[in-house]
Structure 1
Amino acid sequence: MLTYDVVIWSIRRRSGRPKPWELRWRVGEEEHSKSYQLKPQAEGRRSQLMEALRKGQQFDEETGLPEQEVAALAMPTWYEHAKAYAVMKWPGAAGKHRASIAESLAVVTPVFVRSAAGRPDAKVLRAALYQWAFRAVQSEGGYVSRCDGESVPREIKEALDWVAANSLKVDEVAKPERIRAAFTALSTLLSGKRAAENTANRKRMVLSNAFRYAVEERALLSRHPFLAVDWSAPTTSDEVDFRYVPGPRLARELLEAVAKQGTRGEHLEAFYGAVYYGAARPGEAVALREDDFVLPPKSEPDAWGEMLISESHPEVGSGWTDSGKPHDERGLKHRARNAVRAVPIPPVYVRMVRAHIRRFGTAPDGRIFRAALGGRVTSNEYCAVWDAAREAVLTPTELKSALAEVTYCLRHAAISLWIKRGVDPVEVAYRAGHSVAVLYRFYAKILKGGSAHANRLIQEGLEAEDE
């Protein structure tokens, strides 16, 4: 119980004792004392208590300490708070978001330490924090940090023990100089290169929410520490590098090369087609079922069909999902759970889908894309096939470049083509599953390229008005 009823007595000397100088004080009905070897030590502590009293602090009857010292003793370390935050977020978060929280906290936690002495190897420390401290597991009482619920390897335990021993208190890491250091770390990749703007922003949002948890729910801080920091992220560009996005001819050649990569390639040709002709994300394409395709009658070979995208199965690792599967199963990115994105598909892809279903059928749950030996298509498989297709199509010089480097480039190719051919940006954004703002951030150069055409149309309208 806190009270202003405090009496601090003079220091007395007790002969024949190892610590003869005794400081005594009373808080409420409770008396407290502390002995010191030297008189200046006792006088110094008495001055601290008197100063707290003069500043109007209440004292705690049980401990005899001023309220600020009691609060400091109760203040958790950043490491303890970050673990609590990760566990709190776990139940309601998707697998990808759980991994993102752990990644962000694993980057910033080594910054919030008082000493670098004895610091573990960087890779071991990152693995300890990412895989063990900020990953949750189910226990009898609910979720707990993995390091508290499972047996921990010796090397990992040593790394976590070092973090626990050196982690600063939450109120200490809230100081502006610590926050700036954290921002710098969150804006830097493991390689030392500058992180893309959206990557840095995503990680800073995790840190911001962890501090908000400290302010609003745990009352560890009186205000959000970001408010006291004037800091700007290093300027980066999220715009797609169109030098390495394949054009329509190269995209078709790569799809044809995929089909020539043996059984695996034959199974996956239509999968890559979904990414190119419908701008599906690979995680969305993996989840497509036969009834997600609305195909025109066979008597209309030049008619367009429609692809209904409603799910995404991004790979994240079995340790981050509730099902224990290596992929998450959720709705569309940044959309309501039951949202559906209807994407028109051209006749060439309608024929490709029909041929695929006729030849390979579907999985028991209706999915049309499977690994060659059955089961779910994994990123390892479709990346390996894509690498082989690049080797078959590109020149040695092109192979060394980032031209069509990953499967996702087909999505960039599709969106770029739509914009270049004059499709309205709002329609492009809808088909791609983007917001218009995101579309402009990633494809600004192409969108600006249509200004001359727009100017001509406006000029024609103005001249027609004059006539």
Structure 2
Amino acid sequence: MKSYKVSIWKISVNRSARKPTYLVRWAVDGSPFHEVHKTKALADRFRAKLLRAADKGEPFGTVTGLPDSLRSGQAGLSFLELALKYLDHRWADASAKQRDSMTDSLATAVPALVKAMRGRPAPGTLRKALRSYLLAPPRGERERPDDIAAAVAWIEKASLPVAELLETSQVHALVDAVFRKLDGKPAASQTYRRRRAVVFNCLGYAVELGMLPSNPLSKVRRKRQSGHRPVQEVDRRVVVNPRQARELLAAVTYVGGWDRASGRRLRAFYGCLYYAAMRPGEVLGLRRSDCTLPGKGWGRIELAETRPTAGKAWTDSGEAHDRRGLKQRAAGEVRLVPIPPPLVRLLREHLDEFGTAKDGRLFASERGNVVAASSYSRVWKQARELALLPSQVSSVLAARPYDLRHAGVSQWLNSGVPAPEVAARAGHSVDVLLKIYAKCIDGQEAEMNERIMKGLGEDDRSEE
């Protein structure tokens, strides 16, 4: 906020220190400010600048205590300029998914800290201008439509200095913007946490640059809304049993176009999700050289690369799929996954019919490209309609291909495989594994009940 109510006092001398210092004191709208200088000449010069700004009728900030003419250097950077500096700082080392997340979060946050200016663009236009034209480098290379150019010009003028976040009301406005979607409704809890983390790191960078004394988000917490608590556990309703999984994999070969080739091409892909509990991006990056496929018995997969869907705007290569190492693992680290005979057979049959892409990948589109998420999701939808009962089709049972991974991990746990071994095969830590799949460990209720009764010195049969 700004105010024209400014009082500037005479310079005072602090003689308590070893060397005297000179204090310039002033007030803006009743709030006191001061600045210490080592010499009287420096203090006189700064006080003269304050007097000159007041004589010119400049408004003074109620947070910083300074007029616009004295907002220079890092302290004068706007929130938009901070966002641009932060993205330039992080871009080269960030994955495509992280780049997507950072631009999404900052495109949501930047419009929350702006002046009240005429001509504010519509929320959707302003967000598109930030996310697609202004924030992501390289900037200025794409031709901007008139509405986008106008939105960019507006936000560049309207963005307030980062120092405004020293005012708690501005921080609350920022948190509220991150919490909501464009239509004003609350965003999903995971979306809010992801956006808040990005903005928190951005403001942490401002602290490193000396723009803020501390991170203002550390002092503000949003009260959890009922119905919007973070949900990390897998919903056991999405988990198919082994029979249902086999029927779904069989149904895939009957869908996918007039010749059903696209369905058959993806059967082993879905098999990797279920039998090896792989992530879709890991399956898309799987190569023939990663697989040991004997004629009989168990095989093995050595996972080293993942190809997550990210979008052309966020990858260095300009491809829709990023190329990264394994999730939450050091560069070059490999995960070994033993695979059962049913998956070995599926992979051998897939290689016999479709071979590999030019770079050795097992799963590719008809043109040899990385299979798009929209393609394997479309085939999966058709397979569910064929393999499941009508009531199940309308339910959340195996609603996404990723749910096959949940089913695979749940099947291992329910078969009695120790949690550390399951975690190693699935690429989780043990604590995360048990937290996520706690509700999917089934079939032990009767055994646990019997143990409790024995501990009580009772016999279940006595009540029969």
Instruction: Name the TM tier (shorter chain).
Output: 0.7 to 0.9
Determine which of 37, 50, 65 is the counterpart of 2:49. 65
Shift of 1:115: 2.8
Structure-2 change in CA distance of 1:187 and 1:247 (3 Å): farther
Percent of residue pairs bearing the same amino acid type: 40
- Establish whether residue 344 from structure 1 lines up as the match of residue 338 from structure 2: yes
Secondary structure at the residue paired with 2:302? strand
TM-score (structure 1 length as normaliser):
0.79
Secondary structure at the residue paired with 1:65? helix
Shift of 1:456: 6.3
TM-score (structure 2 length as normaliser):
0.79
Preserved CA contact (<8 Å) 1:275 1:285: yes
Determine which of 145, 150, 171 is the counterpart of 1:153. 145
Structure-2 change in CA distance of 1:428 and 1:179 (3 Å): farther
Q: Residue 72 of structure 1 aligns to which amino acid in structure 2?
A: R
Residue 325 (structure 1) aligns with: 319
Structure-2 change in CA distance of 1:452 and 1:199 (3 Å): farther
Preserved CA contact (<8 Å) 1:287 1:311: yes
Shift of 1:462: 13
Secondary structure at the residue paired with 2:49? coil
Cα distance per residue 1:407-443 (max 9 Å; x no partner): 1111111112122222222222221112223223322
Residue 94 (structure 1) aligns with: 95
Shift of 1:272: 0.8
Aligned residue-pair number = 406
Q: Residue 282 of structure 2 aligns to which amino acid in structure 1?
A: E
Q: Distance in 2 between matches of 1:168 and 1:449?
A: 58
Preserved CA contact (<8 Å) 1:277 1:345: yes
Residue 270 (structure 1) aligns with: 268
CA RMSD of aligned residues (A): 2.9
Q: Distance in 2 between matches of 1:405 and 1:278?
A: 19
Q: Distance in 1 between matches of 2:179 and 2:405?
A: 26
Q: Distance in 2 between matches of 1:416 and 1:172?
A: 50
Determine which of 420, 427, 435 is the counterpart of 2:421. 427
Shift of 1:332: 0.5
Residue 238 (structure 2) aligns with: 244
Structure 1, unpaired ranges of 5+: 1-40, 138-145
Cα distance per residue 1:31-59 (max 9 Å; x no partner): xxxxxxxxxx9xx76x3364873445444
Residue 371 (structure 1) aligns with: 365
Q: Distance in 1 between matches of 2:348 and 2:44?
A: 77
Preserved CA contact (<8 Å) 1:114 1:168: yes
Determine which of 285, 288, 291 is the counterpart of 1:290. 288
Q: Report 1:212-227 matches (<5 A).
A: 212-216=204-208, 218-227=209-218
Q: Distance in 1 between matches of 2:44 and 2:418?
A: 67
Structure-2 change in CA distance of 1:106 and 1:354 (3 Å): same
Cα distance per residue 1:276-330 (max 9 Å; x no partner): 111111111001011111223x2xx3x2111111111111111111111111101
Q: Which moved more, 1:402-411 or 1:193-202?
A: 193-202
Q: Report 1:39-54 matches (<5 A).
A: 47-48=7-8, 50=10, 53-54=24-25
Structure-2 change in CA distance of 1:336 and 1:327 (3 Å): same
Preserved CA contact (<8 Å) 1:78 1:173: no
Q: Distance in 2 between matches of 1:428 and 1:116?
A: 57
Q: Residue 386 of structure 1 aligns to which amino acid in structure 2?
A: W
Q: Which moved more, 1:447-456 or 1:203-212?
A: 447-456
Q: Would you identify which runs of 4 or more consecutive aligned residues in structure 1 move more than 6 Å?
A: 454-463
Q: Distance in 2 between matches of 1:178 and 1:239?
A: 34
Structure-2 change in CA distance of 1:452 and 1:180 (3 Å): farther
Structure 2, unpaired ranges of 5+: 12-22, 26-33, 38-42, 51-63, 458-464
Preserved CA contact (<8 Å) 2:95 2:322: yes
Preserved CA contact (<8 Å) 2:268 2:350: yes
Q: Distance in 1 between matches of 2:241 and 2:445?
A: 21
Residue 335 (structure 1) aligns with: 329
Q: Which moved more, 1:65-74 or 1:242-251?
A: 65-74
Residue 132 (structure 1) aligns with: 133
Q: Distance in 2 between matches of 1:156 and 1:65?
A: 38
Residue 14 (structure 2) aligns with: none
Q: Which moved more, 1:194-203 or 1:71-80?
A: 194-203
Q: Distance in 1 between matches of 2:147 and 2:95?
A: 29
Q: Distance in 2 between matches of 1:241 and 1:413?
A: 11
Q: Distance in 2 between matches of 1:176 and 1:445?
A: 41
Residue 143 (structure 1) aligns with: none
Secondary structure at the residue paired with 2:313? helix
Secondary structure at the residue paired with 1:285? helix
Structure-2 change in CA distance of 1:396 and 1:452 (3 Å): closer
- Establish whether residue 183 from structure 1 lines up as the match of residue 184 from structure 2: no
Structure-2 change in CA distance of 1:277 and 1:60 (3 Å): farther
Structure-2 change in CA distance of 1:388 and 1:174 (3 Å): farther
Secondary structure at the residue paired with 1:336? coil
Q: Distance in 2 between matches of 1:132 and 1:191?
A: 22
